[in-house]
A and B are shown apart, each in its own frame.
Chain A
Amino acid sequence: MIELGVKESVANWKATLIRSFQMAIVGFIIGYFWFITTGDPKYMVYILMAELIAFNRPRVAKEFSQMIRTAKIDVWMTRPRSLFYKFFGIFFGRSLVGLLISSIIVIPIAFLYYPPHLIYLPLFFMAFLVNYSISAIIGYLSFWVGDSRPYEFIVDKINFFFSGTLIPFEFLPTWLATITKSLPFQLVGYFPAKAMVGDFMPLLFLSGILWTTGLVATALIIEKIGVKKYEVVGG
């Protein structure tokens, strides 16, 4: 199933390549900005890793919302397994290709500033799962509200602000940093990026597993309820 997502990304190789280069450039510039501001090369690598995840985030909400609004979801509702499962491999395949190509460019650059701890690369899978689950939940809202794009927008912004991709938590006031550290968005930026610069937090990893499990379960439950509620007027 991942194969389909990979094949699709490879089929759109020009777009995949441009995006990957773009990610590398943007990540480098913002990383460099933080490096100059703080004087610490670790921040260069931190930002590069956080941007790597952010750029390859799965945009599930948009696709699910569109399918529900246009009733194209009917095709998938007549096939076994949950929507969550059916599309997981495809989105993962897409993200994987983007991640791999971007990494080929980004990781050597990172090594010039501070050697990233590549052993923590698998944490990117946790980040993907969290992003996928949250995005799926937003997409499922379309079963109730018709168009979940405004909510996707809001959650995207919250993710953007509170994942630590934009501003590392160390630069936030203590009270705000405490709030951000109690949300799951840190798992898609701050946590894996910090691990890559050698600050792996075992307790955060454990809570990450709980968060991830909880979000996946929530997504599946919401899907089940939404599918039951789904009604469409025929042509």
Chain B
Amino acid sequence: MPVIEVKNVRKALGGHPALKNVSFSVKKGEFIGIVGPNGSGKSTLLRSLVGIITPDEGTISILGSDPKKDRGYLNQVGVLFGNKSGLWPYVSVIYSLKYIGTLYKVKDKEKRIKKIAKDMEATYLLNRLPKNLSLGQRMKCELMATLIHDPKLIILDEPTIGLDIAAKGDFIKYLLHLQSEGKTIVLVSHSMGDMNNANRLIVTGNGQIVFNGTSKKLKSVVNYKVITLHLLKPLNGKYVVSTRLLKGAVIDDVLKIFSSKGIIDFEVRLPTIEDVLSELYRGMK
């Protein structure tokens, strides 16, 4: 049985269709990345998954439960909202975590908290006040709060927003560790760097799923490579320009076009996921 099953879900918000006939499923142990431009329906989809929003049509099943009817599934799901804190700023982290553990009726809360903190190399944060922590540290604590009840499914909404590269890397590394323990991860993010390790990507656009597959498959959606040229003389004020090298095109032809500006160096690369997404987003507009 899939961990998440979404079938023909439609939802209108304020008269505007936010989700249009969305269907997908997530298997146990998968790491799914949901990505899309602002207003594409990602957050509406996420909120529908966790029962905050009720779809107008269609069905959603999370661990076999309907999120709007049976809230019992929440005991097996951990949800993290990147821009919303569930900790009390003036009380040390461990007390907030103990309180959250009480909500989930976690036994041996202190032991559990210390174990998670040790795994995350965050033991030093337990006795600190959230208000005094950096954003990266606070996110670690928020993740600890999400994991305290040992959920099977972890859903994260923009958890790396505002984090520096190192902090992001640590965060994603830990998510992969959780995946290796058999947990299912659903990550909603703008940052493609977070998605590099996802098993599958779901791209949303205009309330629909425009792509559902591996990142390799996503890259194959486009039929060009990217050529970047370093010029001696500027072109429209730029010394470094990039353009597409369509399938079948010859590099010499491209070089000829720019030769009048003097080509110091050039490189050809495959499109990154960002390039592909930009392409997809452009198509959505």
Known: A8-B90, A76-B86, A80-B74. A232 touches B103 (CB 8 A): no
Give the Cβ gap from A64 to chain B, nearest Cβ, in Å: 15
Q: Is A173 an interface residue (CB 8 A)?
A: no
Inter-chain CA distance A11–B50, complex, in Å, is 34
> For B39, what are the chain A residues with a Cβ–Cβ distance below 8 Å?
234
Q: Which residues of B contact A11 (CB under 8 A)?
A: 90-91, 129
Do the beta carbons of A80 and B81 come within 8 Å of each other? no
- Give Cα distance in the complex from A129 to B95, angstroms: 24
CB neighbours of A232 from chain B (8 A): 43, 47, 52-53
What are the residues of chain B within 8 A of A86 when measuring CB–CB? 103
Interface residues of B in 39-87 (CB under 8 A from A): 39, 41-47, 50-54, 68, 71, 74-75, 77, 79, 81, 84-86
A74-B52 in contact given A4-B99, A12-B90, A234-B41 (Cβ < 8 Å): yes
The reply to whether the CB of A179 lies closer than 8 angstroms to some CB of chain B is: no
Write the residues of chain B forming the contact surface with A, with a CB cutoff of 8 angstroms: 13-14, 18, 38-39, 41-47, 50-54, 68, 71, 74-75, 77, 79, 81, 84-86, 88, 90-92, 95-96, 98-100, 102-104, 129, 158
Q: Is A157 an interface residue (CB 8 A)?
A: no
Q: What separation, in Å, do the CA atoms of A12 and B104 have in the docked complex?
A: 27
Closest A residue by C-beta to B78 = A78
Most buried by A among B77, B90, B92, B104: B90
Query: Among A7, A72, A80, A230, which residue has its beta carbon within 8 angstroms of that of B84?
Result: A72
With contacts A74-B52, A78-B74, A234-B43 known, is A4 near B79, CB below 8 A? no
Are A231 and B103 neighbours in the complex by a CB distance under 8 Å? no
Instruction: Identify B47's interface contact among A3, A8, A234, CB under 8 A.
Output: A234
Asked if B43 and A235 sit within 8 Å, CB to CB, the answer is yes
A-side residues, CB < 8 A to B, are: 1, 3-4, 7-8, 11-12, 71-72, 74-81, 86, 89-90, 228, 230-235
9 A-B pairs with least C-beta separation: A234-B43, A78-B79, A11-B90, A75-B86, A234-B44, A4-B99, A7-B91, A72-B84, A75-B84
The complex places the Cα of A228 from the Cα of B129 at a distance, in Å, of: 34
User: In whole angstroms, how far apart are the Cα atoms of A76 and B100 in the complex?
Assistant: 10
- A80 to B105, alpha carbons, bound, how many Å? 10
**Shortest Cβ distance from B146 into A: residue:** A78
Closest Cβ–Cβ distance, residue B188 to chain A (whole Å): 9
- Taking a contact as CB atoms under 8 Å apart, the answer to whether A231 and B84 are in contact is no
Rounded to whole angstroms, the CA-CA distance of A98 and B159 in the bound complex is 36
Distance A193 CA – B13 CA, assembled complex (angstroms): 49
The residue in B14, B51, B96, B99 that gathers the most chain A C-beta atoms within 10 A of its C-beta is: B99
Q: How far is the CB of A142 from chain B (nearest CB, A)?
A: 15
Most-contacted residue by chain B among A79, A81, A233 (CB, 10 A): A79
- Closest CB in chain A relative to B244 CB, distance in Å: 31
| Pairwise interchain contact B100-A79, C-beta atoms closer than 8 A | yes
How far apart are the CA atoms of A75 and B99 in the complex, in Å? 14
Which residues of the partner chain B approach A72 to less than 8 Å between Cβ atoms? 84-85
Residues of A within 8 A of B53 (CB): 230-232
A5 vs B279: C-alpha distance in the bound complex, in angstroms?
Answer: 51
Q: Kindly list chain B residues whose C-beta atoms are within 8 Å of the C-beta of A8.
A: 88, 90-91
